[in-house]
A and B are shown apart, each in its own frame.
Chain A
Amino acid sequence: MSAAQKSLALHLGLIGGLFALAFILPTYHHGNFARIMVLATYAIGYNVLFGYTGLLSLGHAMFFAAGMYGMGLAMQYGGVPALPALFLGIIAATILAAVVAVLALRTIGVAFMIVTLMFAQTGFLTILYFGEWTRGDEGFVLQQKVRQIAGLDLSDPMTRYLAAWVLFSVALLATARMMHVAFGGVLVAIRENEERTRMLGYNVFAHKFAAVVISGAIAGAAGAAYGLLFGYVGATFASVQYSIFPLLWVLLGGAGTTIGPFIGALFMFYLIDYSSGLTSAYMLIAGVALVLLTLFARAGIAGEIKRRWAPWLP
């Protein structure tokens, strides 16, 4: 099998496995997996910018929240049905990403991190400021009767799982495809050596801009889906910890690998879930696990597998 065939087999295998799990998993884990797939989609979006293009954003919660609020406000106050609202959320995140890209890409390195962090904080405070509509920290609940697409009730566990599965599958296959074509190669080239890439005749700014917009759009799709599937929209999702989460998931799972974001989200979700069952100091256990991973698997889980055993891993 060629590397391309292996990676296709891997992606279809993962997607197939997750589909099968929909009918196998016990209720508790069934719900967890639906959540993990949506969060993994968020991480996939983050990985486009951080893992492949090498731009570390500390403000991705603003895109996640733009998707969530774009969807939620349209439904709550505009009476927009679920599916169009989902797309409005994605559009909101995409526009925000384009604006942020134009401004933030004037900086590099640490300055880029700080600028994205500041934009995200501005977004968070804006949501609190307009608390009359956004309900601030408290958030608002989307009624079960409006959370329907084509007659399918998204609050039903199986429908919700499969909706999350579709979202995740599309994001995974789309980014895998993107990294297979020339465009993805140029993103990696920018990550590896920006000046060389410019001196090979590539428009570095245009590629970075596209990477921010694609990354923001996927994050926004995840945010909109999260709000729609779990019926809640709140300012917490715009807070700084939701900017840090995708960074951690991607670092743990393996930055710059297609399956790393999923592995990272899965690992961290269950790490916290399991350790919080043992002790109230569960963050301590999570922290120790993170330290161990960064000491012994610096490329993340998938990154380490790629380095040691499977160099073909996309």
Chain B
Amino acid sequence: MGAVASLSLLQTHGLTRRYGGLTAVDNVDFALPEGQVHALIGPNGAGKSTFVGMVSGRIEASEGRVEFEGRDVTGLPTHKRIRAGMAYTFQITSIYARLSLFDNVALAMGNRNRDAATEALARVGLDDRADQIAGDLSYGHQRLLEIAMGVAQAPRLLILDEPTQGLAESEIEGFNAIINALRGQTTILLIEHNMNVVMALADAITVLDQGAVLATGAPEAIRADAAVQAAYLGSG
């Protein structure tokens, strides 16, 4: 596995999370090559958020290992993994609602450089609102702010947990453009329900079902996969 390992930014080996008798994530081996936009899909309760939670350190793994940049980070607390180059945006918008957009981005960057903050906000088209209070933004704009915060961290790996949830069609187009602009600079792991977004953005797809990897491959192959169709039709 040596040659493959050296190309992977992120790897998991036998990653497992149990809650009592329930196995939310079951022995997942996963490899994410540097520079890829990788979508993680699957029905509700498939273990997608738990999986990325273990990758980022929010959730402790019951078994298995996480390797980031070839280094075992399984035992590292969250903040050290983030410092090592991961960024994570929450499924349920998590911003500093009572602080300004500038403050939000400044905290993400770790400094209060006005120009850099404006640039980060410009990526999502919010640069003219830097001094507004984040909680006053519309829902869609709050989601964009959270993405801007993730990008402002200049991560090696950007984990987006259902970023388009609740966005309008026009806003989704904007989101796609943001991700395309990041393509090649940042490796992206995207949890997404909207298959149009997945097909438009992903270089590769992994399907989780009942905590286990059902299939992984190029978008066309996944679309044609019978087992995937079965899982999504609810017979699995």
Contact = CB atoms under 8 A, between A and B. Distances in A.
Contacts of B110: 182, 200-201
A207 to B, nearest CB: 10
A142 B96 CA distance: 49
B50 interface: no
A198 B78 CA distance: 7
A182 B111 contact: yes
Interface size class of A (residues with CB under 8 A): 10 to 19
Nearest to B86: A201
Interface residues of B, number: 25
Contacts of B78: 198-199
Nearest to A204: B79
A193 interface: yes
B79 A198 contact: yes
Contact of B97 (A192, A198, A199): A192
Contact of A201 (B58, B82, B98, B111): B82
B75 to A, nearest CB: 16
B94 A186 contact: no
A197 interface: yes
Contacts, number: 53
Given A185-B103, A185-B106, A203 B96 contact: no
Interface string B79-105: 110110000101000111111000100
Contacts of A202: 79
Of the candidates B78, B88, B98, the one having the most CB atoms from chain A within 10 angstroms of its own CB is B78
A188 interface: yes
- For the residues of A in contact with B, the DSSP-based class is helix
Given A182-B111, A185-B106, A188-B99, A201 B90 contact: no
Contacts of B58: 199
Nearest to A197: B107
B112 A201 contact: no
Contact of B79 (A182, A185, A203): A203
A297 B153 CA distance: 38
Nearest to A188: B99
A185 B90 contact: no
Given A185-B112, A199-B94, 19 more contacts: A182-B111, A185-B103, A185-B106, A189-B96, A189-B99, A192-B96, A192-B97, A192-B98, A193-B97, A196-B94, A198-B82, A199-B78, A199-B88, A199-B90, A200-B82, A201-B82, A201-B110, A202-B79, A204-B79
Interface of B: 56, 58, 77-80, 82-83, 88, 90, 94-99, 103, 106-108, 110-112, 149, 153
